Amino acid sequence: MIRLKTIFFVHPLKSKPIIILNFKTYREATGEGALTLARVAERVRDEQGVNIMVAVQHTDIYRIASSVELPVLAQHVDAREPGSWTGHVSAEAVKASGAAGSLVNHSERRLTLADIGSCISALRGLGLLSVLCTDTPETSAGGAALSPDMLAVEPPELIGTGISVSKAKPEVVTKTVEVVKKINSGVIILCGAGISVAEDVSRAIELGTDGVLLASAYVKAKDPYGLLTSMAKAALGAFKG
């Protein structure tokens, strides 16, 4: 039913910058709205040649993954094997519905250290991507030791503010890049929180990351296509690979 898709349609990770669009539970990004926003992202990805992924609600994974040639991420998985866990979401279930991976430990859905370890390990075992979210250089260092595929540092106090981490707290980004590379050089590093305009993206990459994670700026944009296109161009301009 779900067309098998090359997760990285355009090019392998690390060779191009990465933009992850988190749809959260915004009304505009639910059901049909989510599908529309994912199609816009697919178009920009195809036109600009950057890596773009969408992190959608569990209830929308199947619908979007069945219709759009873009890596679809879950926003969360529970550290639970399939079984007697009513109301939970296993890594197996998100895979069965077509997801290519999952965010782990987003600031709006924190997990215990033990569960982060279990989730990353379960995702890896199923061939799914893990994108671990952290809040400080210290917890980023801790998280890097668990070998997620990607790590996105986001100071929670900036999330949703429109004040970007790359401008307001560049030292959080550079320090995170430094400690993560030291502990585990294979981890792809993103940053997020307040990413609103193209310049926030290029600055994030200049600080040493491979890309960004953003949400409301895209979902609530008057012109999502225009915004994402400008961000993709800025990312490519700043990226050295």
Active site residues: 106, 154
> How far is the C-alpha of 160 from the C-alpha of 149, rounded, in Å?
25
Looking at the Cβ atoms of 104 and 234, the one nearer to a copy of itself is 104
Looking at the Cβ atoms of 64 and 205, the one nearer to a copy of itself is 64
Q: How far is the CB of 155 from a copy of itself (least distance, A)?
A: 11
Q: How far is the CB of 75 from a copy of itself (least distance, A)?
A: 4
Looking at the Cβ atoms of 52 and 61, the one nearer to a copy of itself is 61
Cα 143 to Cα 69, 105, 111, 136, 139, distances in angstroms: 30, 10, 12, 10, 6
What x-and-dash track marks residues 132-151 binding a copy of itself by CB under 8 A?
Answer: --xxx-xx-xxxxxxx----
Looking at the Cβ atoms of 77 and 205, the one nearer to a copy of itself is 77
Q: How far is the CB of 74 from a copy of itself (least distance, A)?
A: 8
Report the DSSP beta bridge partners of residue 104: 132
- Window of 37-45, 131-139, 165-173, 221-229 that interacts with a copy of itself by CB under 8 A: 131-139
Range 88-117, binding a copy of itself (CB under 8 A): 88-90, 92-94, 96-97, 103, 105-117
> How far is the C-alpha of 184 from the C-alpha of 20, rounded, in Å?
21
Q: Identify whether the C-beta of residue 20 lies closer than 8 Å to the C-beta of residue 51.
A: no
3-state secondary structure of 191: strand
- Residue 126 is encoded by which pair of tokens? 């199923």
Report CA torsion sign: 231, 58, 101, 105: positive
Q: What angle do CA 16, 4, 236 make, to 5 degrees?
A: 10
What x-and-dash track marks residues 187-226 binding a copy of itself by CB under 8 A?
Answer: ----------------------------xx----------
Amino acid letter at 94? V
Report CA torsion sign: 7, 11, 15, 19: negative
Q: Identify whether the C-beta of residue 219 lies closer than 8 Å to the C-beta of residue 29.
A: yes
For residue 158, give the DSSP letter. G
Contact between 126 and a copy of itself (CB under 8 A)? no
Contact positions vs a copy of itself (CB under 8 A):
1, 22, 24-27, 30-32, 55, 57-63, 74-76, 80, 82-90, 92-94, 96-97, 103, 105-117, 121, 134-136, 138-139, 141-147, 156, 159-160, 179, 183, 215-216
